[in-house]
Amino acid sequence: MAEGIISLKTVSAEPTTVGRITVTPQSQMFSLRLPFARVVWHRPVGVLVEQDGQAEQIRVLDLTRLVQLGLLATIVVAAVVASARTTRREGAEV
């Protein structure tokens, strides 16, 4: 199957079976193909649990992504506050 320059799809890892329960981890794969390199990034989205012929999709929370977004928000707020203080000081000195 031919992939484009950018692709986004859900992929499954090897299933693990213990007794009558089969668990299959799933992730979302982002792929960027360039002439000189390929970038692939996976993020967890859930697990597929099969038991007694019934399947259930369980979503998972990507804590790493939440922490990254929190750090980014903190940096943006700190930069805005620092910029506002610098602007206020320069205005007071004039």
Q: Tens digit of pLDDT for each residue in 33-69? A: 988 999 998 889 999 999 998 999 999 988 888 999 9
Contact indicator for 94, 75 with CB cutoff of 8 Å: no
Q: Tens digit of pLDDT for each residue in 9-31? A: 999 999 999 999 999 999 999 99
Look up residue 55 and give its amino acid: A
Interacting residues of 13 by C-beta distance below 8 A, sequence separation 6+:
24, 25, 26, 27
Query: CA nearest 40: which of 3, 2, 70?
Result: 3
Q: How confident is the model at residue 1 (pLDDT cuts 50, 70, 90)?
A: very low
Q: 67 — alpha (psi -120 to 50), left (phi > 0) or beta? A: alpha
Tell me the pairing of strands 16-18 and 54-59. Answer: unpaired
